[in-house]
Structure 1
Amino acid sequence: MNGDESHKDYYKVLEVDYDATEEIIRLNYRRLALKWHPDKQKDDNAVTAKFQEINEAYKVLSDPAKRLEYDLTGNCEIDKYTLPEYLTRFKGMILTCNGLGITHTSIWSQQLMETNEYVDK
């Protein structure tokens, strides 16, 4: 490790491929969370740190907006934005991705339409 904790590879933390589905991410998270739960190995700071890292990775990769930001920038400030703020911030990029035929856009399209109703008022 290079010691740079600010740019962890959350996909490697959860032991999944970069194109993993939400289901695979959830299943691996559960498996790893059980394996590294601090209650299983008491008084071990390394285990607690690993468990927290797994939770942090899952919090980002299980949320479509946070995963998108992470995939594009390699970093994600977990609690920086609400979902409508993410969608507003990345609206142009999401629409461009839709035009390029990138999948999972129906989720974004619906959220964008709902968000635009509030933002444009």
Structure 2
Amino acid sequence: MEDNNPPKDYYKILEVDYDATEEMIKVSYRKLALKWHPDKHNGDTVATSKFQEINEAYNVLMDPALRFEYDLTGIYEIHKYTLREYLARFKGMILTCNGLGISHSSSPWTQQLAEGNNTTDEQGYNLDTV
């Protein structure tokens, strides 16, 4: 039987960026788990489902091996993302040499993303509208 449900974006479920640290993930998880805990919603099935989804996302993103595999294979319906959002999924892996600890906080590309400047390529095409 084919699964027609769209794939889950664990980063969006936990409301974190694609290059979020473990600490950022933990903080967001705790906040969302408290907000959606079934005991706070008197057994509401929507809250229970949301809570389970939050736990699933947390378990995958906190396990380094699962997160790596998810990051490589979890590309979701690319047409729903801007170029910036799509590339952000890989920014952490690329700019840190796949997690080897090279800092990317001073990278011009990172600064440009943080400042929200328009991104253009060598020919002057605006990449924000691609």
| TM value normalised by structure 1 | 0.60
Residues 1:105 and 2:97 are matched in the alignment: no
Residues 1:42 and 2:57 are matched in the alignment: no
Residues 1:69 and 2:69 are matched in the alignment: yes
- Which residue does 2:29 correspond to in 1? 29
State the SS of the aligned residue for 2:15: coil
Q: Which amino acid aligns with 2:42?
A: K
The whole-number CA distance in structure 2 between the counterparts of 1:32 and 1:69 is 24
The whole-number CA distance in structure 2 between the counterparts of 1:16 and 1:26 is 10
The whole-number CA distance in structure 1 between the counterparts of 2:21 and 2:11 is 11
Percent identity, please.
Answer: 63
In the alignment, structure 1 segments of 5+ residues that lack a partner are 76-96, 107-121
The whole-number CA distance in structure 2 between the counterparts of 1:69 and 1:15 is 20
Q: Work out the number of aligned pairs and report it.
A: 81
Alignment RMSD (CA, Å): 2.3
Q: Deviations over 1:5-60 (max 9, x none)?
A: 5x100000000000011100010000000000000001210000000000000000
Distance 1:103 1:43, change over 3 A: same
- Which residue does 1:8 correspond to in 2? 8
Q: How does 1:83-94 map to 2 (within 5 A)?
A: none
In the alignment, structure 2 segments of 5+ residues that lack a partner are 76-92, 102-130
State the SS of the aligned residue for 1:105: coil
Structure with bigger helix share is 1
The whole-number CA distance in structure 2 between the counterparts of 1:32 and 1:58 is 11
Q: Deviations over 1:63-97 (max 9, x none)?
A: 1110000000018xxxxxxxxxxxxxxxxxxxxx8
| TM value normalised by structure 2 | 0.56
